[in-house]
Structure 1
Amino acid sequence: MIRLLTSGAYVGAELQAEFGRVPPAFLPVGGSLLIHHQLQRLGATASRTILSLPDDFVVDPIETGRLAAAGVEIVAMDPRLSLGRSVAKLIAAISEDSPIEIIHGDTLIDCLPAAVEDAMSIGEASDGYHWATVSVVDGCVASVANEVPVGDPQPGSILSGAFRFSDPALLLRCLVDADDSFVAALDAYARRRQVAAVAMAGWLDFGHLQTFFRSRHHLAASRHFNSLRITDGVVHKSSDQRFKMAAEASWLRTLPASLQLYSARLIEDDSSRTGDGYATEYAYLPTVAEIYLSRLNARGWQRILGAMTGFVEAETRCRGEGVSTSLATLGIEKTRARLEAARDVLPALDAERRIGGQACPAPSRMLEELFARIAAAPPRPPSIMHGDLCFSNILYNSRNQRICVIDPRGYVEDGRASAYGDTRYDLAKLAHSIIGRYDQILGGQYRLDDSAGNVELTLPADPVKDALEHQFLEQSVDGIAFDSDAVIATMITLFFSMIPLHREDPRRQRAFFANGAQLFMRFYG
C-alpha cells in the first residue's frame, strides 16, 4: 500500500495569522511539526509514503533530511490546484498499480483497519465549519455529499480525513468524470465499490483555528497523562515533587496585580489544595515555542519580542528588599550540582575538543570562565522572577498582543517558596530560546556531526530568526543590557546543565553540549 499525505496548499488566513504561510503538515504542534506526529501515529504500515507540498514552499535541507530518513518522498504541487486535482496528479505520478491510502495533511488519525480494502473514516463535527457528509447503510458508505446540511450533521456522518482505495485507477477515472471534485469522486467510487465507513474516535483536526486549539489540547492531555489532565477548560498539573508544585501555585497566587494579566489564572478552593498539584484555566493560545517552529514573519516576531520585553520590564518594577543572590544560586550552584550528580552522561569535562572546526577549551575551563563572569555581575535588588521563562512556558495572544506565562519556578532555594529573584536569569532563559535556539533542538530541527576529533551542530538557516536574535541583543531593561555577561554567560551554562535532564535522548544531549560549546566560542572564544 502507498500512503499519500495531502498538504499541497497553504493553511487558511486564520491559521496564517498565528503561524505564517505554511502547509498543514508543517503546522507546529506541541514542540514539533504536525507531519512528525502523523508519521509516528501511522507507523511503518505503508510501502511508500508520499507527501505533497506547495511548489513554492522552501523546505530547509535539515528538515528535508529528516523526512527522507523517515522514508517520506516529497512531491511539489501548485498550491492553487483543487484537492481533487492535486490527488489526481499524485495518483498519476505514482506509476504503480498498488492500493493507496490518502490522509489529509491537517489530520491526526489512527491507521484504518488492515483488513478492509476500501474505506473512508467518519467522525462527528464539533464546530460550525463546512464538512463533507456521508450516508451510511449497513456499515458501508452509500453516498458522499458536499452540500451544507439543514441543521447540524448527524452524529458520525462527516468525513474525517482518511481514505483507502483498492483500485486507484478507478478513483482517477472518477476524479476525471467529476471535473476533479474530490467529494464527487468519492461519491462515485462508493457507488462502484463496497466502501467501509470506519468510525475513528481518536481523530484530531488541525485545519481550522478553533479545531486546531481543541485538537492541540487533546494531544497535550494524551501525551502528558501522568502529570497533566485537561478537563472542562481547566489544566490540572500534578507531581510527586510536592514542594515544587506548592511553589508554582504560590507564585501564581501571590503575583502582584500589575502582573496578573501576564499569567495563567489559578483556580483553587480549600478542597483543591492537596499539595501534589494545582489547577489553572486552560488558554486556547499557542506557545511561543510552537510559533518559533513555524514561519511567522519578522513583523509578527517584533510584536512577540515587544510583548516579552514588556513583561520583563513589568517584573523589574516589582522590587523586594536587599540584594538578590539568585543569579549565582541558579547559574552557578545549580549548574555545578546538576553536573556533579550526572557525570555518567556528561562528556569528559577535562578533555579539549574541536568544536565547529575550532580548537575549544575543555568544558571544565569553559564553565570556570562562565561562572567567573556570572559571579562578577553587579548586584541587583530582587524583583519578581518567573524562573523558567523559556518559549514553551510563554503563550502568546495575537489579538491583544500580550503574553501569558505558565509553569513558573516559584523558588530559588530548596524548601523556600518565593516569587522574587534576579531578572537577568529570566533574560538568560529567553536568550536560551532566541540565541541558543533551544526549541529547535528540542523539536529535532538540527544536524549533528560528532565524528572523531570534531563536534559541530548545524541549525536551519533562517533570516527571520537571525533578525530576532539581533533585535534581542540590542535591547535593555531597567539598566540591564540583554547582551551583558550576566545574561549571556548564564544562557550558555543552561545548555550544559540541560544535558543531565535528557537521558532519554543521547543524541540531543550531545547537541546541547555542542551548542553550549559553540556559543562559548562565539561570545568568549
Structure 2
Amino acid sequence: MLLILSSRMVSEEIALQFGALPPAMLPLGAGRLWERQIELAMGEPVWLTLPEDYEIGEFDRARLAEARVNILRLSASLSITEAIAAAIDHIAPEGAIRILYGDTLVSLPDDQLMLSDRVCAKASLANYPWAFVRGMENGRPVFSNAPPRRLENRNAVCGYFHFADARVFAAICRENGFIDALNTYAERAPLQILEPETWLDFGHLSLYFQSKRDMLMARSFNDVQVEGDFLIKQSGQIAKMRDERRWFQDLPETLRLHTPRFGGSIERDHRAGYALEYLFAPSLADLFAFGELGLSSWLEIFEGCAQLLDKFDAIPPEPAAPEASAEYAALFHQEMIERKTRQRLDNFLTTAGLDRAQEFRINGRQLPSLGRVLDDFLQAVPPTRPADIRLWHGDLFFGNMFYDFVARRAMCIDPRGQLPGFGYARFGDPRYDIAKLAHSVLGKYDKTILGRSRLARHAAHDWELRCAATPHEAEIEQIFSETLVTARGLSRSEIAAMTGLLFLSMLPLHGDDPERQSHLLAAGLIFHSKLQEAAA
C-alpha cells in the first residue's frame, strides 16, 4: 500500500505562483504531481491525503477515480506524525505500508521499491530544512533535523519510506515527532537506508523548478532536450529551425528581456536547432489549466502580456523593407488567415470522412454548415493593411508563454519565424498574436491539449464540450478581453473569428488523436456563436 501525504497546502512562496494547492496537486508536465507519484504503487492500493477544505474540481475527481486513488481528508493542522497515525488508523492496513511525501518524487528499481523497513536518503549540498541521516550507531541509522557540519555527510532524508509494520509505526507516531519516531522505530526494527536513483523535491519554489527541469532531462524528447541550464531544440526541418533561431538573434534589446537568453546555434546529424536558457518560471498553460490563482494575479499577468505586445507594436518594418509593402500585407492575410485554414480544414474533412456541408449542434446551439462557418469567419476578419504590420511572434499561445513573478515580466519561446511564400518573417499582423492568446484563454486550447476537456456525443453531430474550470474563469475572460482586445482598438468579433479560424487550421496537426481533433473542432465551432454574439 502506498500512502501519499498531501494534507497541507504548499508553502506561501509556491502559492503566490500557483495558488493554494496541496503539493501532490502541483502541475507537472501534462498533469499533476500525483499522477507521477502513483507510478510507485506497483499495483498496490494508493491513498492520497488532502486538506479537509480543499475542493477537488470535477475533472480532477474523475482522473483520481480513473486511477483508483483513494482520497482521505485530514485537517491541515495535523503534524506529519499525527497525519500518518490518523491515516493508518483509517486505512487499517495489514502489515506493511509505504509512505511518500506529497511534494516528493523518487525513482528506484522495481525490486528495491518493495524492500521492507527502508528510508530513502541521498547526498545533497543544497541548504533546505530537511531531515538528515546523522550516522550509524549500533548498526542502525540515526536521524536528526540538524544539518551535518561536514559536507560529505549531508545525507538528506528524501521522503519515501517503507515500514514493515504499519501499526507499530502509527503507535510510535502518536507519541513522537517525526525524527523521534524514525529513531524509535529504528531501535525496534532493522531499518536501513536506501539511496534512490533520483530524488526530486517540489516542496520549495526553487526546488520545484529545478526538479521539473531535472525530470525533463530524464524524459527528453527527440526534438526538445534539456542539457544542464539550456533547453535544446532541434529538428530535421532545417529551414524552420534556422528561421526560428534567427528570430531570437534579430530581437531588439527592448525585447531580449522577454525571451530566454540565446545559447547558440546547432547544426548536426542533418538537423538544425538552437539552445535557449532554461526558464525557471511557470508556463501560462500550467497556471491556467492547473493553478488556482486569484484575479489580481491574472490581471498582473495580462498586463505583462500587454506590455510585451506593446513592445512588438513599437517596431514596424523599415519603410523600404519588403515587409512594409502592400504586397506583404496581402500575402500575410492570404497565407495566414485564408489559404492555410482552407487547405488544412479540407485535409481534415477528407481524413475524417466529412465535407463542408456537414452541420453540427454544439452545446445546444445549432450551427450552419462547416463551409458556412468558415466563410463567416473569413468575412469577419478585415484584411491586413501595411500599417498593421509589426514585429510578431506567430505562436503566442499559453504553452509558449511564461510569467516571471519576481521580475513581473511575460516571457515567450518558440516563435513561428516564417511566412509561406516569403520565407523568414519577423513581421506580421498583431491580431494574429492576440488571437493565439484568445484561443488559450477563451478557447481553452491548452486544457484540451492537456486532457482537461470532455466531449459528450448526444448524436452523431450533436456534441457537448466541457473544459475543466479555472477559478474566476468568467472574470478572467473579461479581464483578457478588456486588456488585450478592446483596449487595443480591436473588435471582439474579428478576434472571435480569427480564433475560430485557428482552431479549424489546427485540426490536421492533431491527426494522431482523432478524439482530440473532435474536441478542437467543437471548440472552433463554438466561436461561431461567439462571433454572432459579438456582432449583435
Where structure 2 has 5 or more consecutive residues not aligned to the other structure, the ranges are 318-323
Tell me the SS of whatever aligns to 2:107. coil
Q: Does 1:307 align with 2:304?
A: yes
Aligned residue in 2 for 1:254: 250
Q: Which of 322, 343, 352 pairs up with 2:325? A: 322
Between the two proteins, the alignment pairs up a number of residues equal to 518
Question: More displaced, 342-351 or 454-463?
Answer: 342-351
TM-aligned CA distance change 1:295 to 1:126, over 3 Å: farther
Tell me the SS of whatever aligns to 1:497. helix
How many Å separate the matches in 2 of 1:176 and 1:105?
20
TM-aligned CA distance change 1:479 to 1:189, over 3 Å: closer
Q: Which of 333, 336, 345 pairs up with 2:339? A: 333
Q: Which amino acid aligns with 1:75?
A: L
TM-aligned CA distance change 1:231 to 1:177, over 3 Å: same
Where structure 1 has 5 or more consecutive residues not aligned to the other structure, the ranges are none
Q: Which amino acid aligns with 1:431?
A: A
Q: Which amino acid aligns with 1:38?
A: Q
Residue 506 of structure 1 and its aligned partner are, at CA, apart by: 3.2
Question: More displaced, 425-434 or 123-132?
Answer: 123-132
Residue 462 of structure 1 and its aligned partner are, at CA, apart by: 3.7
TM-aligned CA distance change 1:369 to 1:222, over 3 Å: farther
Aligned residue in 2 for 1:497: 505
Q: Which of 155, 158, 165 pairs up with 2:156? A: 158
Aligned residue in 2 for 1:93: 90
Deviations 1:236-274 (CA, angstroms, capped at 9, x unpaired): 211111111101111111112222222222122798999
Q: Which amino acid aligns with 2:454?
A: R
Q: Identity of paired residues, percent?
A: 30
Residue 217 of structure 1 and its aligned partner are, at CA, apart by: 1.0
Q: Which amino acid aligns with 1:175?
A: C
How many Å separate the matches in 2 of 1:86 and 1:143?
23
Q: 1:446·1:460 contact (CA, 8 Å) conserved in 2?
A: yes
Q: Does 1:464 align with 2:472?
A: yes
How many Å separate the matches in 1 of 2:152 and 2:131?
9
TM-score by length of 1: 0.91
TM-aligned CA distance change 1:414 to 1:189, over 3 Å: farther
Task: Within 5 Å, give how 1:11-30 maps onto structure 2.
Answer: 11-30=10-29
Residue 182 of structure 1 and its aligned partner are, at CA, apart by: 2.2
How many Å separate the matches in 2 of 1:476 and 1:102?
47
TM-aligned CA distance change 1:90 to 1:470, over 3 Å: same
Residue 425 of structure 1 and its aligned partner are, at CA, apart by: 0.3
How many Å separate the matches in 1 of 2:353 and 2:501?
15
Aligned residue in 1 for 2:320: none
Residue 63 of structure 1 and its aligned partner are, at CA, apart by: 1.3
How many Å separate the matches in 1 of 2:116 and 2:256?
56
Q: 1:391·1:439 contact (CA, 8 Å) conserved in 2?
A: yes
TM-score by length of 2: 0.90
Q: Which amino acid aligns with 2:16?
A: A
Deviations 1:26-53 (CA, angstroms, capped at 9, x unpaired): 11223422222323x33x6243211111
Q: 1:313·1:478 contact (CA, 8 Å) conserved in 2?
A: no
Aligned residue in 1 for 2:409: 402
Aligned residue in 2 for 1:427: 434
Deviations 1:402-452 (CA, angstroms, capped at 9, x unpaired): 112111111122661121011000000100111111122222222221243
Q: Which amino acid aligns with 1:154?
A: N
Residue 281 of structure 1 and its aligned partner are, at CA, apart by: 1.9
How many Å separate the matches in 1 of 2:186 and 2:179?
11
Residue 302 of structure 1 and its aligned partner are, at CA, apart by: 0.7
TM-aligned CA distance change 1:198 to 1:396, over 3 Å: same
Q: Which amino acid aligns with 1:29?
A: L
Residue 20 of structure 1 and its aligned partner are, at CA, apart by: 1.4
How many Å separate the matches in 1 of 2:307 and 2:269?
32
How many Å separate the matches in 2 of 1:506 and 1:110?
33
Q: 1:127·1:211 contact (CA, 8 Å) conserved in 2?
A: no
Q: Which amino acid aligns with 1:461?
A: A
Q: 1:116·1:196 contact (CA, 8 Å) conserved in 2?
A: no
How many Å separate the matches in 1 of 2:11 and 2:495?
39
Residue 176 of structure 1 and its aligned partner are, at CA, apart by: 1.8
Aligned residue in 2 for 1:133: 132
How many Å separate the matches in 2 of 1:225 and 1:125?
28
Tell me the SS of whatever aligns to 1:318. coil
Aligned residue in 2 for 1:385: 392
Q: 1:346·1:500 contact (CA, 8 Å) conserved in 2?
A: no
Aligned residue in 1 for 2:372: 365
Q: Does 1:447 align with 2:454?
A: yes
How many Å separate the matches in 2 of 1:479 and 1:57?
36
Question: More displaced, 144-153 or 102-111?
Answer: 144-153
TM-aligned CA distance change 1:191 to 1:330, over 3 Å: farther
Residue 69 of structure 1 and its aligned partner are, at CA, apart by: 1.0
Q: 2:485·2:491 contact (CA, 8 Å) conserved in 1?
A: no
Residue 390 of structure 1 and its aligned partner are, at CA, apart by: 0.9
How many Å separate the matches in 2 of 1:162 and 1:500?
44
How many Å separate the matches in 1 of 2:452 and 2:525?
18
Residue 476 of structure 1 and its aligned partner are, at CA, apart by: 5.3
TM-aligned CA distance change 1:105 to 1:376, over 3 Å: same
Task: Within 5 Å, give how 1:210-229 maps onto structure 2.
Answer: 210-229=206-225
What is the Cα-based RMSD across aligned positions, in Å? 2.6
Aligned residue in 2 for 1:71: 68
Tell me the SS of whatever aligns to 1:147. coil
Tell me the SS of whatever aligns to 1:475. helix
Tell me the SS of whatever aligns to 1:120. strand
TM-aligned CA distance change 1:147 to 1:340, over 3 Å: same
How many Å separate the matches in 2 of 1:31 and 1:169?
36
TM-aligned CA distance change 1:165 to 1:414, over 3 Å: farther
Q: 2:388·2:430 contact (CA, 8 Å) conserved in 1?
A: no
Q: Does 1:170 align with 2:168?
A: yes
How many Å separate the matches in 1 of 2:48 and 2:398?
29
